[in-house]
Amino acid sequence: MSGLPRSSHALVTGGGRGIGRAVASALVQAGATVTVLGRHRATLDEAIAAGAAHFAGVADVADQAAVNAALAEASARQPIDILIANAGAAESAPFAKSDAALFRRMMDVNFMGVVHAVQAALPAMRDRPHGRIVAVASTAGLKGYAYVSAYSAAKHAVVGLVRSLALELASTRVTVNAVCPGFTDTDLLAGSIDNIMKKTGRSHEQAVAELARHNPQGRLVTPAEVADTVLWLCGEGAGAITGQAIAVAGGEV
C-alpha cells in the first residue's frame, strides 16, 4: 500500500473522539499534519495532548459560517490535502414519532455537515497535487434499520453525494469516497446501548449482543478498523478508487 504524500495536511471533522479520533491518530502516524474540528475545545485539546492531532478548530458542522471560518484558519497554516468528513449524530425513534425537527437535525449534522466541509475545502484542494475526500457514512447509508429512518435517510444522502461528486471530479486529482462502518465500539454507540437497556430492560451485555448480531462476525467493529480503511483511501495508491461506499461491517452488507 502506498503511503501519504509528504507534508500532507488532513482535516478531520468530529475528530476529538470515536472514529474521528482514531482516523486522526492514524493520519498522524502516517506522517500527516492533522487538524481536528469539533464542537468542544476540551475534547479536541485532549486529542492533541494524546498525540492524535496537531491543531484544532471549534465549529458545529451544521453551521456553515463556522465551518468556513475554521477551515480558512486551518488552510492559512497549511493548505488542506485531505478532508475526512466524519462528524455525525444519531437519534432513534419510530417513524410515526419522528417529527420534522428530528429529520432536520439528522440532515443538518450528518448530511449538510458533509456538504459544508466539502464546499469549504474543495476549491483550494482542486489546485493541490493530491486531494482526498472521505465521508464517514454508515451501513445505514447502504441499507435500512428500523427506528432510525431519519438517520438512515441522511446517511443515504451522503452516499449519493459521494457518488455524484466523484463523477464531477473524476478528471481532477481529487477522489471522493465514503466509508460505511457497521455498529462500531464508540461512545456514540454507547448511547444506543443505553437506550436499548432503558426501553427493553436488557442488561448491557444483552444490549451489545443485540447490536453485534447484525455483524456476521458476531462482534462490534473497532474504530481502528475504520481508520485503516480511511488511511488506505487517502494514500497515493488509491488514486483510482473514487465514488465508492466501502462497508466496514464484517460482511453485513
Q: pLDDT per residue over 17-63, tens digit each?
A: 999 999 999 999 999 999 999 999 999 999 999 999 999 999 999 99
Is beta strand 174-181 parallel, antiparallel or unpaired with respect to 245-248?
Answer: parallel
CATH of region 9-182+221-248, choose from 3.40.190.10, 3.90.1300.10, 3.40.50.1370, 3.40.50.720: 3.40.50.720
Residue 189, pLDDT above cutoff 70: no
Q: Of the residues 111, 151, 183, 232, which is catalytic?
A: 151
What nine digits make up the cell of 177? 469516497
Domain boundaries, the chain: 9-182+221-248
According to DSSP, the residues that pair with 37 across neighbouring strands are 13, 57
Is 145 one of the catalytic residues? no
Q: pLDDT per residue over 87-117, tens digit each?
A: 999 999 999 999 999 999 999 999 999 999 9
Binned at pLDDT 50, 70 and 90, residue 201 comes out as confident
Q: CA separation (Å) from 204 to 61, 89, 179, 188, 224?
A: 31, 21, 28, 15, 23
Give me the chain's average pLDDT, please: 94
- Averaged pLDDT for residues 113-132: 97
- Averaged pLDDT for residues 210-236: 94
Residue 191, pLDDT above cutoff 90: no
Q: What does the alpha-carbon distance between residue 222 and residue 212 come to, in Å, rounded to a whole number? A: 12
Given a contact cutoff of 8 angstroms between Cβ atoms, the answer to whether 83 and 32 are in contact is no
Closest CA to 194 of 183, 181, 212, 206: 206
In the chain, DSSP assigns E strands to 9-13, 33-38, 55-58, 82-85, 131-136, 174-181, 245-248
Give phi and psi for 128, each to the nearest 5: -85, 155
Residue 190, pLDDT above cutoff 70: no
**163 membership: H or E segment, kind and range:** helix 149-168
